[in-house]
Amino acid sequence: MKIIKIFFLILLFVLQTDFSTAQNDVEVFLKGAVVTDIKQEDGFLWIATYGQGIYRYSFAEEKWINFSTKSGNLENDLFYTIEVSNNYVWAGASEGFFTYTKKTDKWSKRKFAQGGEFGNWIRSLGYDEKENILWIGRFRNITFLDLKTMKYTDINRMQGKDEKSNNIKSIRFDGDSLIWFGTESGVHVYNKKKKYTEPSAWGYLTNKNKNFLDDGEAVSVSDVLFEGENIWFGADVFITKEQPEFNVGGIYIYNRLYEWNRISTANGLAANGIYALGRTGNYIWAGVYSFDGKEKLEHGKGLFIINRINRNVSEVDLNEIQVSSASILSFHFDGKNMWIGTGEGLVKVNFDNDLAKWPIPVKKRKG
C-alpha cells in the first residue's frame, strides 16, 4: 500500500527539499477536542465540539475564547454543528438549538414543539446570506428561520411512511437557487425560487430507480459537495449481521442527469463510511470510517484525497500533518488553509504556495 505524503507535494511544488520546512506549514489547536464543525466569518473562526462546547478564534489577536459549562457561559458542551452571520452564531445540540447574540454577548436556547424529543436534535445548519434565512436540519423536520421577521417555520418532508426520509443530516447550498438536504434515507432538493409549500419546489432522490446505483436497502447522506457539473454525496455505512446491506456507504458522484459513479474500498478507500467531504482545487478530501456491526460502533479510518479528474484515490499520511486521530470529522477551506476537524483537535494545513491547484500527478492508493 502506498500512502501519499501530502507535504511531499508541497515540496515538489515550491522546489524545496527540506522536509522540516513543510512541517512548519501545519499547526495543531484544541488538542483533545472532538471537532464536529467549522465555520468562518470576517476575523473569526468558530468551532463546534462534542464535549468542550464552542470555541471562537480571533485571527487578529491569535486568541481563543471558549463557551462551555466549564467556562460558565453556555449550558451545553455537546454540539454537532455551527453557523454564523453578521449578528448571530447558531449551534445545534442533541437537546436544542442555541443562538449567540453578538450584541449582548449571550447565548439562548430554543426547543421545538414539533417532532417530539428527537425533534430537538439539531444536526446541520445552513445560513442563506442573500435571503437572510437560516435553515435548520433536525432529526425530525426541516425548519427555517426568517431573520427579517424572526419567524420559525417547520417543514415535514417525510416520504410516505419512511420516517428516515425526514431525518436531516446535512444541508448544502447549490448555486443561487437550490438547497440539498441529506437524510437517513435519501436526499431532498429544494428550489428556493418557489414557495416551499409548492410540491414542484421539491425533488427527492433515494437509492431506487438507478439513483445511487440502487445500492443497499437505503442511503444515508452525511455530506454533499459540488464541483463543476457533478454532485458528490458522502454516505454513511451501517451494516450488521441481521442487515448486511442496510447502508453500504461510499462516495457517490452524480452528473445531474443520469450517470452515477461510486468510490469505495474497491477504489482504495480504507472503509466505506464517510464523515465529511472537503475540496481544494482538483482534489476532494474525505474523512472515512468503518462500522463495527457487532458492537454498533464507528471507527475512524483516516483521511483520503481523490483527484476529481481521474478519480484516483490516495491516503494521506496523518503523521505528516500531525493528526493524532484517525477520525476526520469536518473540513473548512478558507482559500489559504485547510482546517481539519478531528477526534482529537483542530489541524490547520497551510497552502500558501497555491497547493490547491495541485499540478503534480497523484499516485493511486493500492492495497
pLDDT digits (tens, 9 = 90+) for 222-232: 999 999 999 99
- Given a cut of 70, whether residue 356 has pLDDT beyond it is no
Rounded Cα gap, residues 139 and 118, in angstroms: 6
Name which residue leads in pLDDT, 119 or 169: 169
Q: What is the pLDDT of residue 105?
A: 97
Mean pLDDT on 311-328: 92
Residue 6's pLDDT band (boundaries 50, 70, 90)?
Answer: low
Residue 22's pLDDT band (boundaries 50, 70, 90)?
Answer: very low
Q: What is the pLDDT of residue 362?
A: 38
Q: What is the pLDDT of residue 3?
A: 56
Q: What pairs with residue 328 in β-bridges?
A: 342
Q: What is the pLDDT of residue 5?
A: 55
DSSP run (H or E) holding 153: strand 151-155
Rounded Cα gap, residues 148 and 167, in angstroms: 27
Residue 318: exposed, middle, or buried by beta-carbon count in 10 A (0-12, 13-18, 19+)?
buried
Summarised one tens digit per residue, pLDDT across range 76-107 is 999 999 999 999 999 999 999 999 999 999 99
Mean pLDDT on 31-53: 97
Q: What is the pLDDT of residue 281?
A: 87
Name which residue leads in pLDDT, 14 or 339: 339
- Write out the DSSP string of 273-294: EEEEEEEETTEEEEEEEEEETT
Residue 198's pLDDT band (boundaries 50, 70, 90)?
Answer: very high
Q: What is the pLDDT of residue 121?
A: 96
Percent of the chain exceeding pLDDT 90 equals 80
Percent of the chain exceeding pLDDT 70 equals 89
Rounded Cα gap, residues 276 and 289, in angstroms: 10
Summarised one tens digit per residue, pLDDT across range 122-144 is 999 999 999 999 999 999 999 99
Task: Give the phi and the psi of residue 163 in degrees, each rounded to 5.
Answer: -65, -30
- Cell numbers given for 27: 499547526
How many other C-beta atoms lie within 10 A of the C-beta of residue 244? 11
- Given a cut of 70, whether residue 149 has pLDDT beyond it is yes
Q: What is the pLDDT of residue 352?
A: 65
pTM: 0.90
- Cell numbers given for 224: 454533499
- Cell numbers given for 88: 448571530
Q: What is the pLDDT of residue 20?
A: 36
- Cell numbers given for 236: 454513511
Q: What is the pLDDT of residue 117?
A: 76
